């Protein structure tokens, strides 16, 4: 790559990369956003002007070096500009989850002591106003969308475009100051601070330096051969490290274009229109898309359905092999070509994946069938394993060595060590600086030599050198009889069924396992419609006898498959319950990145867990729920507890005594 020659010469910060991009790709699109039904675009040169105006506006408003600027909004060019503008003036951008509750926001803003907030609209402005009394350092708020805000007190509230206009007006007064501050930035200055969602405890502020971000972006871009011609769709939460690396780190390193959807609801349409070449999504998105395809195929005519089934079966057989460049017979290749013409091509186009060269999934394990579905279509979907603390990349799968059950080899520049207890440690240029104002956690996570504990247990496959993750180290436990308890393994198998959205397995220290199950409203709702089953609410549908029966059959299938694994055959699900509400981040049951918080779930639904173990056939329960606007209510339900057939355990139990 051309960039590697100039490696880090003068390019020691994101604002410096911006200047480089203006010189090298000035007339090329840097940002696009769909607004008013049309894709609006900004070249690198135009984006630089926007960022400069905003940075001048920041100085004008009194932003000092070292200040924290909280950024709350969905993926829009304005917020990416805000982050780079903040860096340009020596401040630290802190992106927050826009759907965070007021309390979560208050905690983070108080913790970092943000003096300024840049946010999207009235909803966030209201949230910040609600919490501002508790924030001693908070001073000014800047919003992008003025709707509904006209009558607000504007002494400390500013429109984004006004700040930019003030910045432009103050150009001659402040430009020297801006340049001076920009030049002071080094490889060790803080690039961004991201709060980890945390499956336990309070969020921690992960400080990432320019070195972390730029080195990681550089290595990852070279690994996949990304260049200025690539396109991505930025739709994942801006507070998540992945979005920061892809939409900012790699975009600035390689100069590719970041496209922002019109609204979260139009994401699928926008994806199709943009046709990204580099794509990233958590497993859930791929699951949802696959579910939608399957639902729509159910509605297709008999002929089309048959065509789809025949060619998909063929794709499953030879697709992944063709993608990996392995030998495949001529007839199979020809049939695959025909399938490409008739089914795979149009299907990829509908999904928006026609141009994807490199696609990644991470965050959670992906069901092998889901993974293979996309790969069989010829989409180069790969897995990576990462963490906020590592600036994402720990391991990645190289092209041609992709499998559903591993997470690949160590990423460029990453060293990995596995402790005796199976816990994975890593060290790299991307390794975070510290947890902000939390020396204790920093010390317990990162040792003086720079090794970081991931908290995940895993091992390297001897023959391939690929890393396999077993589970979160702290989630892996022992059953009462001493056999291994690895909840993720079973949950992932359950979640593969389209009508199961989420599953939580219990059984650590017990004699048998039980499970909570959330139905997928889209899939089950569609099924109900098809079968003329009327329902008034999620709760009613979740408790419908036919739904319970079909979930039961899935659980029994999973038990059969779990029983095959000698190590984990003890994890079969003996009893389960279909929950009356979806596990939700607003209720604290999941993180904002939708990972189940086991301890909280076990505690909150203790009565149900107890009922699963004491043999009762149903349980009445009252659950507190939090509405989107923060109000609380409760729902009560009587849930029937289902038994599932388990397979005889194949290995002989070792007597404990």
Residues lying near another protein in the complex (CB under 8 A) are found at: 35-38, 147-148, 150-151, 262-263, 265-266, 269
Look at residues 253, 183, 176, 151 and name the one whose alpha carbon lies nearest to residue 212: 253
Asked if 249 and 22 touch (Cβ cutoff 8 Å), the reply is: no
Tell me how far, at minimum, the Cβ of 151 lies from another protein, in Å: 7
Identity of the residue, 136 or 151, whose beta carbon is nearer to another protein in the bound complex = 151
Identity of the residue, 150 or 155, whose beta carbon is nearer to another protein in the bound complex = 150
Identity of the residue, 152 or 223, whose beta carbon is nearer to another protein in the bound complex = 152
CA dist., res. 223 & res. 384, Å (int): 12
Tell me how far, at minimum, the Cβ of 262 lies from another protein, in Å: 5
Identity of the residue, 269 or 438, whose beta carbon is nearer to another protein in the bound complex = 269
Asked if 140 and 117 touch (Cβ cutoff 8 Å), the reply is: yes
Backbone Cα Rg of the chain: 26
User: Any idea how long the chain is?
Assistant: 657
SS3 state of residue 586: helix
Percent of the chain that is helix, strand, coil (3-state, to 5): 45, 25, 35
CA dist., res. 408 & res. 394, Å (int): 9
Identity of the residue, 261 or 458, whose beta carbon is nearer to another protein in the bound complex = 261
Tell me how far, at minimum, the Cβ of 33 lies from another protein, in Å: 12
What DSSP letter does each residue of 87-127 carry, written as one string? Answer: HHTT-EEEEE-TT--HHHHHHHHHHHT-SEEEESSHHHHHH
Identity of the residue, 262 or 429, whose beta carbon is nearer to another protein in the bound complex = 262
CA dist., res. 368 & res. 496, Å (int): 8
Tell me how far, at minimum, the Cβ of 263 lies from another protein, in Å: 5
Identity of the residue, 243 or 262, whose beta carbon is nearer to another protein in the bound complex = 262
Tell me how far, at minimum, the Cβ of 629 lies from another protein, in Å: 9
Asked if 191 and 213 touch (Cβ cutoff 8 Å), the reply is: yes
Per-residue exposure over 291-319, b if at least 16 CB sit within 10 Å of its own CB, e if not: bbbebeeeeeeeeeeeebeebbebbeebb
CA dist., res. 143 & res. 25, Å (int): 30
CA dist., res. 569 & res. 519, Å (int): 25
CA dist., res. 517 & res. 502, Å (int): 6
Identity of the residue, 145 or 364, whose beta carbon is nearer to another protein in the bound complex = 145
Question: Listing from the earlier edge strand, what are the strands of the sheet with 231-233?
Answer: 38-43, 29-35, 257-260, 231-233
Tell me how far, at minimum, the Cβ of 187 lies from another protein, in Å: 42
Tell me how far, at minimum, the Cβ of 126 lies from another protein, in Å: 12
Identity of the residue, 302 or 631, whose beta carbon is nearer to another protein in the bound complex = 631
Asked if 555 and 647 touch (Cβ cutoff 8 Å), the reply is: no
Tell me how far, at minimum, the Cβ of 266 lies from another protein, in Å: 5
The CA-atom distances, in angstroms, between 177 and each of 65, 83, 89, 168, 451 are: 11, 18, 9, 14, 39
For 603, other C-beta atoms within 10 Å of its C-beta total 10
Tell me how far, at minimum, the Cβ of 125 lies from another protein, in Å: 14
Identity of the residue, 263 or 650, whose beta carbon is nearer to another protein in the bound complex = 263
The CA-atom distances, in angstroms, between 308 and each of 295, 342, 381 are: 13, 9, 21
CA dist., res. 629 & res. 33, Å (int): 28
Tell me how far, at minimum, the Cβ of 532 lies from another protein, in Å: 19
Identity of the residue, 37 or 325, whose beta carbon is nearer to another protein in the bound complex = 37
Identity of the residue, 122 or 227, whose beta carbon is nearer to another protein in the bound complex = 122
Tell me how far, at minimum, the Cβ of 153 lies from another protein, in Å: 12
Tell me how far, at minimum, the Cβ of 267 lies from another protein, in Å: 9
């Amino acid at each position: 790559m051309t960039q590697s020659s100039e490696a880090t010469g003068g390019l020691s910060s994101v604002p410096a990369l911006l200047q480089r991009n203006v010189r090298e790709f000035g007339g090329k699109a840097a940002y696009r956003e769909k607004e008013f039904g049309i894709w609006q675009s900004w070249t690198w040169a135009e984006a630089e002007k926007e960022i400069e105006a905003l940075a001048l506006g920041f100085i004008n408003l009194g932003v000092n070096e070292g200040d924290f600027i909280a950024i709350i909004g969905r993926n829009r060019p304005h917020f990416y500009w805000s982050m780079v503008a903040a860096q340009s003036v020596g401040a630290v951008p802190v992106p927050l989850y826009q759907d965070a509750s007021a309390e979560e926001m208050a905690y983070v803003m108080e913790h970092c002591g943000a003096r300024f907030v840049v946010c999207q609209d009235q909803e966030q402005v209201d949230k910040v106003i609600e919490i501002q009394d508790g924030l001693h350092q908070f001073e000014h708020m800047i919003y992008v969308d003025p709707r509904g805000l006209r009558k607000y007190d504007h002494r400390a509230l500013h429109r984004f475009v006004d700040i930019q206009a003030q910045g432009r007006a103050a150009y001659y007064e402040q430009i020297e100051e801006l340049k001076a501050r920009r030049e002071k930035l080094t490889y060790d200055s803080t690039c961004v601070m991201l709060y980890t969602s945390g499956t336990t405890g309070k969020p921690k502020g992960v400080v990432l330096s320019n070195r972390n971000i730029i080195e990681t972006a550089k290595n990852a871009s070279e690994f996949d051969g990304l260049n200025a011609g690539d396109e991505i769709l930025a739709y994942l939460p801006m507070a998540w490290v992945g979005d920061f690396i892809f939409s900012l780190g790699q975009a600035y390193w390689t100069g590719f274009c970041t496209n922002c959807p019109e609204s979260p609801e139009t994401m699928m349409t926008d994806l199709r229109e943009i046709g990204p070449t580099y794509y990233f999504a958590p497993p859930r998105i791929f699951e949802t898309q696959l579910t939608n395809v399957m639902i729509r195929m159910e509605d297709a005519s008999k002929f089309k359905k048959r065509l789809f089934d025949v060619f998909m079966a063929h794709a499953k057989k030879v697709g992944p092999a063709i993608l990996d460049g392995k030998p495949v017979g001529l007839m199979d290749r020809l049939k695959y070509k025909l399938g490409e013409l008739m089914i795979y091509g149009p299907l990829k186009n509908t999904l928006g994946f026609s141009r994807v060269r490199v696609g990644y999934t991470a965050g959670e394990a992906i069901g092998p069938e889901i993974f293979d579905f996309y790969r069989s279509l010829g989409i180069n979907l790969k897995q990576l394993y990462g963490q906020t603390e590592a600036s994402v990349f720990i391991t990645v799968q190289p092209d041609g060595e992709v499998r559903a059950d591993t997470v690949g080899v160590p990423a460029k520049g990453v060293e990995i060590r596995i402790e005796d207890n199976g816990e994975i440690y890593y060290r790299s240029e991307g390794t975070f600086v510290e947890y902000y104002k939390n020396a204790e956690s920093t010390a317990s996570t990162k040792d003086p030599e720079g090794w970081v504990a991931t908290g995940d247990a895993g091992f390297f496959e001897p023959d391939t050198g690929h890393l396999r993750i077993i589970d979160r180290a702290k989630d892996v436990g022992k059953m009462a009889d001493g056999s291994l308890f690895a909840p993720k393994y079973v949950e992932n198998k359950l979640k593969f069924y389209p009508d199961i959205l989420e599953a939580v397995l219990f059984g650590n220290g017990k004699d048998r396992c039980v499970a909570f199950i959330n139905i997928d409203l889209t899939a089950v709702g569609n099924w109900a419609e098809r079968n003329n089953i009327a329902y008034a609410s999620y709760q009613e549908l979740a408790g419908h006898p036919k739904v319970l029966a079909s979930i039961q059959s899935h659980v029994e299938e999973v038990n059969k498959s779990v029983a095959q694994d000698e190590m984990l055959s003890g994890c079969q699900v003996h009893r389960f319950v279909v929950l009356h509400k979806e596990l939700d981040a607003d209720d604290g049951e999941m993180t904002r990145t939708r990972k189940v918080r086991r301890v909280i779930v076990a505690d909150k639904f203790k009565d149900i867990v107890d009922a699963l173990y004491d043999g009762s056939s149903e349980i009445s329960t009252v659950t507190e729920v939090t509405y989107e606007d923060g109000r609380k209510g409760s729902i009560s339900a009587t849930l029937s507890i289902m038994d599932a057939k388990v397979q005889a355990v194949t290995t002989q139990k070792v007597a404990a005594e």
